[in-house]
Structure 1
């Protein structure tokens, strides 16, 4: 499967925080001098030129925001973002060894390219010359990603992994069965992905490639959250050409296989935005809001641009996904038994209290009857 299209980092301008960005000639000397003097200090500085001050100060705020967002992902451990509903804490949940995110989407959606784009956010600090990890199909005639592939985020992380998958089939029923199997039985690196409608040559090709994984015994991981990847350019083209089949496929595939997560629908990543204008990108997102029935904040526009805004979108998406993944962690049995025991005791106490009320009313009634009998007896004697 993999992602489609060559999203070149050089296709978009770099961020204001990047050293490669063009600075106006009159800013250059001042900015270089200020940064050399102040280093990485967060303190404010005074400048006679408000335009220069705004430019430099704004860049520093962006650097700090990006740095903090990266640090949150780097330092994350499963259970860190448990919300503590009903007084629960991280120890009350069955925490996975690693939080697992599943990428799904149609052919040429950009899933494998998204893996590389996410990795590049952290490689800028760790190893700027590191090669891409996932092989994108780039609109080729190959089957793309034919095996489930696990990628740690960042590289060598022990807390977050993303699973790249083969492109969805054109058959809704096949997609439904496959996705439900992944959701219920879990994923394992190197598992073959074959559709029922694959022709004989495709099946033999996938099986022959699968021999390299035959000796692997990878751990099966439970899916904690799903990322649905969609090619924004394809969506726009389908809307403009009234391609109902593609739109229906997106709707059907998005809505039904993930019901095991209740109302927590997948996050949506729209790729290939660098091929569209800003107005077109917003139009695509608004259309997806109506089609998929999710809020705009659940749709992340992540293009192939190598700039500050895209980096921050990647980090925002990861934060959203792991936060919602933790809402799907199962609660420990002993905690459920403890809560059930407390609830049972509370109900028994309420019942006893209601019985006490009946007893008190009965006693009062009997006392009243006895009092009336004594009074009536005195009256008769008198």
Structure 2
């Protein structure tokens, strides 16, 4: 027999649903007709309505789709999402045994909180205790070392997530140089990230407390995909105060050539460190996407890493849980479709020959330019 809820219980249930479906309290949501618009008219919708539609898509999929995507991530092996092209077999591709996803962003953007959220959503295996990042115990602590995380806590898993140290908004150039080094040279667990002005004594204490081994004993990981993490609340509040520095710095990071090597448009994670109203969340996301030149519905995810009570948003917020999982899934798709063929012994002679031909072509081009100038001088005489 189905129990009837009292009016107060129904109001409480509805309010609990609105915690993670926050956009449904917006003034324009009723005009949106709750996804009853014709699919053919999507291209004519305004950016705000398209965003409503995307948020509703996540809300519809999240309750039943979360377990499915969890299973896909748990069963994932590096290279599973590679698509055969040009007649090249999977065995001929240079696929690493473990795919590496790098989280980048400015200080306080929520990278470590996002990793903790991933552990909470994906890493539940019986009585295994909840794992946190080394900087997750204090809101004021800073990630000094690169941290490798297997967020599904499975030895058979084929991917890991790296938490990196953020920069200040006023030091974008230094940040881009360091990111370029990570993308080109790779990363390894407990890789020390020193910055000008760091307290060396405090860092020395952290090294001793962590009992770090020699860095040579850690496996160097090639970065296969990157996620840009931005604090939408911080950026939006700065915009309201007339400060464009956080938004411009985020654009420089998102558009950096180093990140574009792994994906033309890196995945963008917008975290909410502070409570914002519905209109502020919507306006903040739309302004950031417009300034970065990306679609507001493709590859952009909102995650509330911490609830208003300071707890991790897990099953109480299935939309956030699913959004974080889908972002990981998308990153692995990007990773597997960006692998290159293995180099064979024939490639090196071909490379040498191509360089030799380029040198010969440059030599003859130089000769042509010299004789052309000599010919012009004779005509003038």
**Length-normalised TM-score, structure 2:** 0.66
For 1:300, the equivalent position in structure 2 comes to 301
Q: Using the TM superposition, name which of 213-222 and 74-83 deviates more.
A: 213-222
For 1:238, the equivalent position in structure 2 comes to 238
Give the C-alpha shift of residue 131 in structure 1: 4.7
| Structure 1: runs of 5+ lacking an equivalent | 1-11, 17-58, 341-382
Is 1:316 matched with 2:326?
Answer: yes
The CA distance in 2 between the partners of 1:336 and 1:109, in whole Å, is 46
The CA distance in 2 between the partners of 1:138 and 1:318, in whole Å, is 25
Q: Using the TM superposition, name which of 302-311 and 184-193 deviates more.
A: 302-311
For residue 86 of structure 1, give the secondary structure of its aligned residue in structure 2: coil
The CA distance in 2 between the partners of 1:122 and 1:248, in whole Å, is 33
The CA distance in 1 between the partners of 2:125 and 2:205, in whole Å, is 38
- Cα distance change, pair 14–191 in 1 and its aligned pair in 2 (3 A): farther
- Cα distance change, pair 240–62 in 1 and its aligned pair in 2 (3 A): closer
Decide whether the 8 Å contact of 2:146 with 2:187 is kept in 1: yes
Decide whether the 8 Å contact of 1:104 with 1:226 is kept in 2: yes
Aligned length: 283
Give the C-alpha shift of residue 263 in structure 1: 5.5
Decide whether the 8 Å contact of 1:100 with 1:223 is kept in 2: yes
For residue 227 of structure 2, give the secondary structure of its aligned residue in structure 1: strand
| Structure 2: runs of 5+ lacking an equivalent | 1-14, 20-58, 306-312, 351-381
For residue 223 of structure 2, give the secondary structure of its aligned residue in structure 1: coil
Root-mean-square deviation (CA), in Å? 3.2
Task: Mark the structure with the bigger radius of gyration.
Answer: 1
For 1:118, the equivalent position in structure 2 comes to 118
For residue 86 of structure 2, give the secondary structure of its aligned residue in structure 1: helix
Q: Using the TM superposition, name which of 153-162 and 313-322 deviates more.
A: 153-162
The CA distance in 1 between the partners of 2:328 and 2:180, in whole Å, is 23
For residue 87 of structure 1, give the secondary structure of its aligned residue in structure 2: coil
For residue 145 of structure 2, give the secondary structure of its aligned residue in structure 1: coil
For 2:180, the equivalent position in structure 1 comes to 180
- Cα distance change, pair 205–61 in 1 and its aligned pair in 2 (3 A): closer
For 1:271, the equivalent position in structure 2 comes to 271
- Cα distance change, pair 224–69 in 1 and its aligned pair in 2 (3 A): same
Is 1:153 matched with 2:154?
Answer: no
Give the C-alpha shift of residue 129 in structure 1: 5.6
* CA offset digits 1:316-369 (Å, max 9, x no partner): 1011100011122221124996xx9xxxxxxxxxxxxxxxxxxxxxxxxxxxxx
